[in-house]
Amino acid sequence: MQETSTDRENLKKKNLNIFSHLIHRFIDIGKNRKRGDIILREDKGRYFLELDGKAVYSKYSPDKEAARLIKEANLEKADVCVFFGLGGGYHVEEFLNRNRTADAIIIEPLFENLYEIAGLRDFSFLMQGERVSFFTYDMLDEKSFFSVILSYPDSGIYFFSLNAYKNYYQDKYKHIFNLTERIKKARNTNRNTAKKFGRRWIRNTLRNLPLFIDAHGLELLSGRLAYPAILLGAGPSLDLLSPHISMLRERTFIIATDTSIRWCRQNGVIPDIVITVDPQYWNSRHLDYVDKSNCLLVTDPAVYPSVLHKEGLSALFINSALPLVSFFSRWTGFKMSLAAGGSVTTSAWDLARLCGADIIMMAGVDLGFPQRRLYYKGALVEEYSLVKSSRLRSPHDNIIPVYFDAGLRREKCDTGYTYTNSRMEVYKTWFEIEVGKTVFPRTVRISKGGVDIKGIEYISPPEMSNLPYIRDNIDNILKDIRDAALIKKNMQKSSQVFYILKELIQDISDKAQKGLEITRDINITQDTFTKIEAIIFDIKRNPVFPLINLLIQDVVDNLIDARTEDSVIKNYAVILKAIEDSTHIYMEEIDYVSPLYK
């Protein structure tokens, strides 16, 4: 039966309804719509898509071409694949058919392309429940994109694009590819960080609970400082600011990262706000000499306890993404968080933005190693290197591994070239994305030598001398905030919350043990699976399960491919054992700090 124009229009309307449902946006089919880059062509009864005068895929055997491309891309182990461009969708359909348990995320670079694409073929295969997520580039919400992909193991995240899309939309392609790679690195970093600091986070948070249970959060700072801000990192270029810092302090408010506190003391300047998020003991030593009476501390609740256990300290707490902190947020008064880019400096930038700064001037944020150095002169790390040095090991030998453990390379900077590595590249990408999102507040650099960051230009400090004097205003605002943020211990309330946590952890432990006993049953029946799945369902409903989940991700990521009933049972046993082991870690830490709550 010969196809009519009405059939083609009905197909287009059907597909547009599918696209609208997936992207949660109405697609206008009126005559006044804006044209896209994709053109639907017809040749001897065959319909195909054209981009920049070239076919997006094979005109004659698009399904066979898709099968070949997906096979060559080695996507068999993918848990999710990010597809840059829908095109005819043959490659997406082939992927979904080959990988029955994998998901697809589609990003079409131009919203208007969907009207022409809709006239090609039936796209009903995209309606597979939660397996398919669909974005258009202009509507891409990076936070939503992050939240979707971060639920997958980094080893299972893949990226694919047809060459026609890759070549025509080069900038958009690079952006999405880099964004996906950044998420994979973040996922890997989160897992490794959890393995490295898991116990330390738990112990610190439990010991600090009486001090933050009634404390204030960033709400007290939000929008209160609509003035120029200086952000002090700890890179070598910070030394270049020494002659100008006194003048700048009269015209700005200063946010100092914990690692820059020594530089502030060396230069006789008191920062207005000090930010710290690291849970380690050695990091806490940066704050040994912080001026408690004139500095406001912004901190994660999981910092090393000695940071907070100081008489007369004023602190505002970040509602961090750590599951234990999130659990306690049911009882705390602070709800605001900061963007986490993997560094205290990225959090400091977001803090300046939250304060209401109209311009953020960064110094010592080098994201590299100017003059082959890591920090400013006299930094705690340099002192530690000297202490660890010997006749056969120079101070520089103690620092060299930091350069090379993430791939040392040269990169352009405003003084020529400097050295950097892939870890610093992650932070650079974060700044470029965040700064590129908005024109306000403006972000500039006031110290030379760091790597070039797109969207952040250099301005010499003397140019800031024409800014108005605002020091009295800053002091008055921050004095009121410091008075309100004075830390007060509440043992009664924290004890109640502490024992609620203990009971919930014990409940998960008991259920995991019960589930493990069932997996050891020799006779596997359907009832066996039903009982185990019911136990896991109950465990996941427990309010503290996210705490356990943080510690078992490495185990979950490495589960075997379950192809038989026996391997499914083995996977259940591995998961339940990992859950039980994680509850033991929590109970050991709970027992360790229990004397505080008696």
Q: What is the pLDDT of residues 255-288, one digit of tens each?
A: 999 999 999 999 999 999 999 999 999 889 899 8
Instruction: Find, among 190, 219, 508, the residue nearest to 323 by Cα.
Output: 190
Q: Give the integer Cα–Cα distance in Å for 70 and 68.
A: 6
Q: Give the integer Cα–Cα distance in Å for 264 and 274.
A: 11
Q: What's residue 411's pLDDT?
A: 82
Instruction: Find, among 430, 424, 436, the residue nearest to 374 by Cα.
Output: 424
Q: What's residue 561's pLDDT?
A: 54
**Strand 157-161 and strand 80-84: pairing?**
parallel
Contact 498, 597 (CB under 8 A): yes
To the nearest 10 degrees (0 to 180), the angle between helices 491-519 and 170-212 is 120
Q: What's residue 27's pLDDT?
A: 61
| pLDDT exceeds cutoff 80 at 407 | no
Q: Give the integer Cα–Cα distance in Å for 574 and 556.
A: 8
DSSP bridge pairs for 274 = 256, 297
Q: Which is higher by pLDDT, 221 or 79?
A: 221
Q: Give the integer Cα–Cα distance in Å for 176 and 184.
A: 12
Q: Which is higher by pLDDT, 483 or 437?
A: 483
Contact 204, 412 (CB under 8 A): no
Q: What is the mean pLDDT of the chain?
A: 87
DSSP 128: -
Q: What is the pLDDT of residues 415-436, one digit of tens each?
A: 788 888 877 887 888 888 888 7
Q: How many other C-beta atoms can be found within 10 angstroms of the C-beta atom of residue 144?
A: 12
Instruction: Find, among 159, 193, 163, 151, the residue nearest to 178 by Cα.
Output: 159
Q: What is the pLDDT of residues 21-71, one digit of tens each?
A: 888 666 665 555 678 899 999 888 889 999 999 999 988 899 999 999 999
Q: Give the integer Cα–Cα distance in Å for 374 and 368.
A: 8
Instruction: Find, among 365, 363, 373, the residue nearest to 419 by Cα.
Output: 373
Confidence of residue 93 (pLDDT cuts 50, 70, 90): very high
Q: Across residues 534-540, what is the average pLDDT?
A: 93
Q: How many other C-beta atoms can be found within 10 angstroms of the C-beta atom of residue 93?
A: 19
Alpha helices per DSSP H over 333-439: 344-355, 380-388, 395-404, 422-436
Q: Across residues 209-234, what is the average pLDDT?
A: 96
Q: What's residue 194's pLDDT?
A: 63
Q: Across residues 201-219, what is the average pLDDT?
A: 95
Give 430-467 as a 3 state SS string.
HHHHHHHCCCCCEEEECCCCCECECCEEECCHHHHHHC
Instruction: Find, among 474, 579, 546, 80, the residue nearest to 249 by Cα.
Output: 474
How far apart are the two ends of the chain, measured CA to CA in Å? 83
Q: Give the integer Cα–Cα distance in Å for 138 and 21.
A: 17
Contact 134, 27 (CB under 8 A): no
Confidence of residue 197 (pLDDT cuts 50, 70, 90): confident
Q: What is the pLDDT of residues 294-326, one digit of tens each?
A: 999 999 999 999 999 888 999 999 998 788 998
Q: C-alpha 130: how far from its chain's center?
A: 23
Q: What is the pLDDT of residues 565-580, one digit of tens each?
A: 567 888 888 899 999 9
Q: Which is higher by pLDDT, 390 or 104?
A: 104
Q: C-alpha 373: how far from its chain's center?
A: 27
Q: Which is higher by pLDDT, 549 or 387?
A: 549
Q: Give the integer Cα–Cα distance in Å for 235 and 432.
A: 19
CA distances from 478 to 99, 229, 318, 344 (A): 57, 14, 18, 21
The H or E element spanning position 500 is helix 491-519
Confidence of residue 106 (pLDDT cuts 50, 70, 90): very high
To the nearest 10 degrees (0 to 180), the angle between helices 344-355 and 422-436 is 10
Confidence of residue 587 (pLDDT cuts 50, 70, 90): very high
Q: What's residue 388's pLDDT?
A: 54
> Long-range contacts of range 123-127, CB-CB < 8 Å, 24 or more positions apart?
123/15, 123/18, 123/19, 123/89, 124/14, 124/18, 125/89, 125/92, 125/93, 125/96, 126/18, 126/22, 126/89, 126/92, 127/18, 127/21, 127/22
Read off the tokens for 569.
Answer: 């049972």
- Amino acid type, 203: R
| pLDDT exceeds cutoff 60 at 396 | no
Q: What's residue 404's pLDDT?
A: 52
Contact 507, 305 (CB under 8 A): no
Contact 38, 56 (CB under 8 A): yes
- Half-sphere exposure for 299 (CA within 13 Å, toward CB): 30
Cα dihedral angle (523, 524, 528, 532), rounded to 10 degrees?
110
Residues in the chain: 598
Q: Which residue has the tokens 């900077």?
A: 413
Read off the tokens for 146.
Answer: 């992050």
- The verdict on whether omega for the bond into residue 441 sits within 30 degrees of 0, i.e. cis, is yes
Q: Give the integer Cα–Cα distance in Å for 295 and 315.
A: 9
